[in-house]
Structure formats: structure tokens, C-alpha cells
Amino acid sequence: MAEPTSVPKPDLNGSINHVSITVSDLPVAMKFFGPMLKFLGYTVGEIFEDTRTGGRLTFNINESNGTAFNIWQAKLKHLFEVYEPGLHHVAFNVQRHEQVDDAFALVSSLGAEILDGPGEFPFGPGGYYAFYFLGPDRLKFEIVHMPLAERNYRQMIDALERGSR
């Protein structure tokens, strides 16, 4: 009898709940982020006023994985610099290799400055196909497909589906 294949188990420990960024002009930035986040499976929220902080923001959630990507109106006008202390970049996964190319076409049409790729990079076991770009306020982002992550995700879904039968 064959050994059962090891299936990754879902675990919330260490997973990202949300990322919040600030931009200099929230309505203008949402013309870029709205289509990009929708492409990535997020429900894009309306701009609203947070009465607790006095800030304006959008709450955008990917309901399939529970991750939120929130965008706030900055209170100070300081442009982001990738290599100063603080956040370097945010990377978004996609499920299939060709989605990297589709995202590349989308963000290019939205005016992103492409920094590198799309192409293979030496960052992940089993492949790492990605591209890097600057969005509004020169914030750096990455769209990446990792075959290993795709395989683990599919194994987990298959195991969950088998268990529900």
C-alpha cells in the first residue's frame, strides 16, 4: 500500500491579516489600485472617513483568503523611497503563471513604472515567475507565481473536497 501524500494543513499562525499603505491622493490612487485589486480577487471598498482617526481610507478584502489591503490618505506629503527605513515592497500571489503576464499588461495600461520582469527569479524553490513595478507615489509592488505554492494550495483544496464527501 502506498504512503499517503503529505498535504499542507491550513494554518493562520504567521499569515498576513492585512497590509495598509498610505498615498498622497487617495481618489487618484484608487484609479490604479481599484482595477489591480479586483484582478487579484479583492472586493474594492468605497472611500470613507474613519471617525476614530480622522483619516480617509478604503477597506479592500479578498474573501477567498481573508487578506485585506487597505489604502489610506496620507496626512504628510513625503514621497516613498524604496530603500529608506520602512516597507520595501508588497508582493501579491497569483495562482497561475499566465496571470503574472495578465497582471503585467493591466498595471502597464494603468501607468505603472515597470522595474523588472516578467521573468524567472531565483527566489523560490521550483520556480518564481514575477515582475516588479512602481504604482502611485512610487510604492513598489510585485506580482508572483510560485509553482510550489500553487501545488500546495491545490493539494489542500483537493484534501478538503475529499473530506467533505
**Shared-domain flag, residues 47 and 26:** yes
Q: Please write the tens of the pLDDT for every residue from 126-157.
A: 889 999 999 999 999 999 999 887 787 778 77
pTM attached to this predicted model? 0.83
The range of the structural domain enclosing residue 36 comes to 19-75
pLDDT for residue 46: 96
How many CB atoms are located within 10 Å of the residue 136 CB? 21
Residue 5 lies in a domain: no
Ramachandran quadrant class, 159 (left: phi over 0; alpha: psi -120 to 50; beta: rest): alpha
**Shared-domain flag, residues 71 and 149:** no
**Shared-domain flag, residues 41 and 60:** yes
pLDDT for residue 101: 98
The two counts, helices (H) then strands (E), for the chain are: 3, 9
Q: Which helix (H) or strand (E) holds 101?
A: helix 97-109
**Shared-domain flag, residues 100 and 119:** yes
Give the CATH number of the domain where residue 152 resides: 3.10.180.10
Residue 7 lies in a domain: no
**Shared-domain flag, residues 46 and 108:** no
Residue 37 lies in a domain: yes
Low-confidence stretches of the chain (pLDDT beneath 70): 1-13, 165
Cα separations (Å) of 149 from 95, 97, 101, 130, 158? 8, 12, 18, 14, 14
Q: Report the alpha-carbon distance of residue 13 to residue 58 in Å, rounded.
A: 26
Cis peptide before 118 (omega within 30 of 0): yes
SS3 87: coil
Residue 2 lies in a domain: no
Domain count, the chain: 2
pLDDT for residue 126: 84
**Shared-domain flag, residues 100 and 153:** yes
**Shared-domain flag, residues 151 and 90:** yes
Residue 8 lies in a domain: no
SS3 91: strand
Residue 69 lies in a domain: yes
**Shared-domain flag, residues 89 and 159:** yes
**Shared-domain flag, residues 88 and 141:** yes
**Shared-domain flag, residues 62 and 124:** no
**Shared-domain flag, residues 39 and 112:** no
